[in-house]
A and B are shown apart, each in its own frame.
Chain A
Amino acid sequence: QKEVEQNSGPLSVPEGAIASLNCTYSDRVSQSFFWYRQYSGKSPELIMSIYSNGDKEDGRFTAQLNKASQYVSLLIRDSQPSDSATYLCAVTTGGTSYGKLTFGQGTILTVHP
């Protein structure tokens, strides 16, 4: 079982719709959770971080964390064509691996006009 798994893509949504990206992780001691956006040929860009259970909203983005279910998601409201990218879920744990990110395989999102 992979440490961080994302829902298989690619995901295609029409402009204006809600895009839902999901991620599960296997290590119960995971502490910090991140969503990165990566455009083709570019480096990842941090768009959301979440550390405690519940929802965190930032503009059109909402991250949801459920530690009991080991699940983190990202909702993008009013999706725009410019949101088309690969979305990476990343998780950190403590201990000797402090600060190291474990990435999911990424979900390719396409928002079509």
Chain B
Amino acid sequence: GAVVSQHPSRVICKSGTSVKIECRSLDFQATTMFWYRQFPKQSLMLMATSNEGSKATYEQGVEKDKFLINHASLTLSTLTVTSAHPEDSSFYICSATHLTGRNEQYFGPGTRLTVT
């Protein structure tokens, strides 16, 4: 149990275009989903916290108009990187907490974004 999927696993896009990443909890309902970014040899950086049916809460320094988060249901959250630039190239990882769990976070496999 507690499986989280992400799609796509890898994406290459041109500078100025937008990319949507999906995060799904496959076998449980997720109260909250989190979006992280990780640059090579660095730790995970929390970007935003997303609750179903409400606006995401962004961490300081993360542009909410650039990183659009939609949490449409208890099993799906999406992150859209708008007008992507090469500096947005990174490993994007989502996680989800179980509706009835003790706030254990289960991570998706991640999406590697390369902006050319």
Contact = CB atoms under 8 A, between A and B. Distances in A.
Interface-centre pick from B34, B46, B105 (highest chain A CB count, 10 A): B105
B104 A46 contact: yes
A32 B103 CA distance: 8
A3 interface: no
A42 B109 contact: yes
B92 to A, nearest CB: 10
Given A42-B110, A43-B109, A43-B110, A103 B103 contact: no
How many B residues are at the interface, by size bracket? 20 to 34
B25 interface: no
Given A43-B107, A92-B103, A99 B49 contact: yes
Contacts, number: 48
B62 interface: no
Nearest to B2: A46
Contacts of B108: 43
B93 A43 contact: yes
Contacts of B32: 99
A99 B44 contact: no
Interface string B87-116: 000010101010000111111111000000
B22 to A, nearest CB: 15
28 contacts: A32-B102, A32-B103, A32-B104, A34-B105, A36-B107, A42-B110, A43-B91, A43-B93, A43-B107, A43-B108, A43-B109, A43-B110, A44-B93, A44-B107, A46-B104, A46-B105, A46-B107, A49-B102, A88-B44, A90-B105, A92-B103, A99-B31, A99-B32, A100-B34, A100-B49, A101-B34, A105-B43, A106-B43
